[in-house]
């Protein structure tokens, strides 16, 4: 599983306060460096950077986050913005020595696709492709799958290697429709059936929006989606229970030879107190 750590997001509140947004506004390097290094230590392969709430300041802030974090933390970076300007400024200064950059995200919306595709090609970036177009997210599984398929074809036709594409099936909250979990799982399965070499990622917390005990729903979604073929997730890697479930699921799904990784984590005490 490719783990994308989601903790650096200026919309995230800590004790009801926009602590991260304030840290970015104030250019508090120590604060964001710790947020990044804790996630890498916890097993994140990519650190997602999202400062969308800064609006006009987003592009410069994303560039500052990139320079600040890569100067002091190992691990690759995932640029989480719909803005081509912000993505371009971050990619410009990104040190590819730490691994391919990741763009989060492109969609099948014409303008966004046309602006972001050249950045993906120029910087040889991995790219998260959201299964949506001008019409938004299709509630119907067949239709959403068709949007994803068309997007994968457009990306590969343009020269993006299939191994660099991470499709995000997206979902509506389960509280707004009983079938939405099944639809997401169905979209994942169909995408993997059509393109076994494409990757699938998702931010699993969307499914639980508006529900009580969200963590449990997120965990069920993560495990079921892995069973359907999802091989990456945008999550909080500091959540030890979630990370333990990923290791267990990889073992059960035959993705961990002789369960060596699972056993090593258990021996290292990673599952203690869960």
Give CA–CA dist 89/68, Å, rounded: 14
Dig out the tokens for 149 from the structure: 């398929």
Residues 14-33 interacting with ligand THG (rule: CB under 6 A): none
Site track 183-222 with ligand THG (rule: CB under 6 A), x = hit: -------------------xx-xx----------------
Q: Is there binding between residue 63 and ligand THG (CB under 6 A)?
A: no
Whose Cβ is closer to ligand THG: residue 168's or residue 231's?
Answer: 168
Q: How far is the CB of 166 from ligand THG (least distance, A)?
A: 8
d(CA 128, CA 164): 8
Q: Does 104 bind ligand THG (CB under 6 A)?
A: yes
Interface with ligand THG, residue 81, by CB under 6 A: no
Q: Which long-range contacts (CB under 8 A, 24 or more apart) does 61-65 make?
A: 61/10, 61/24, 61/25, 62/86, 62/87, 62/89, 62/90, 63/89, 63/90, 63/92, 63/93, 64/24, 64/27, 65/8, 65/24, 65/32, 65/90
240 touches ligand THG (CB under 6 A) = no
Q: Name the residue nearer to ligand THG (CB basis): 184 or 265.
A: 184
The residues in 118-177 that bind ligand THG, with binding defined as CB under 6 A, are: 128, 168
* 93 HSE (CA, 13 A, CB side): 18
User: Which chain residues interact with ligand THG by CB under 6 A?
Assistant: 6, 9, 12, 50, 80, 104-105, 128, 168, 202-203, 205-206, 234, 236
């Amino acid at each position: 599983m490719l783990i994308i750590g989601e903790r650096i997001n200026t919309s995230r509140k800590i004790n009801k306060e926009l602590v991260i947004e304030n840290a970015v506004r104030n250019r508090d390097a120590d604060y964001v460096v710790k947020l990044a290094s804790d996630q890498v230590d916890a097993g994140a392969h990519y650190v997602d950077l999202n400062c969308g709430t800064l609006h006009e300041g987003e592009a410069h802030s994303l560039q500052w986050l990139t320079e600040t974090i890569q100067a002091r933390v190992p691990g690759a970076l995932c640029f989480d913005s719909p803005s081509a300007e912000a993505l371009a400024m971050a990619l410009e200064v990104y040190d590819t020595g730490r691994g391919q950059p990741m763009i989060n995200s492109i969609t099948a919306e014409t303008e966004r696709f046309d602006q972001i595709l050249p950045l993906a090609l120029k910087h040889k970036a991995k790219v998260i492709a959201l299964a949506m177009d001008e019409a938004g997210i299709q509630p119907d599984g067949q239709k959403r799958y068709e949007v994803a398929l068309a997007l994968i074809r457009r990306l590969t036709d343009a020269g993006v290697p299939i191994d660099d594409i991470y499709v995000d099936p997206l979902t509506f909250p389960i509280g707004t429709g009983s079938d939405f979990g099944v639809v997401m799982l169905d979209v994942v399965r169909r995408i993997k059936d059509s393109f076994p070499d494409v990757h699938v990622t998702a931010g699993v917390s969307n499914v639980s929006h508006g529900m009580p005990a969200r963590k449990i729903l997120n965990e069920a979604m993560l495990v079921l989606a892995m069973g359907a073929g999802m091989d990456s997730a945008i999550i909080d890697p500091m959540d030890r229970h979630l990370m333990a479930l990923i290791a267990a699921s990889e073992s059960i799904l035959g993705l961990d030879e002789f369960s060596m990784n699972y056993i090593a984590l258990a021996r290292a005490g990673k599952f203690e107190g869960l």
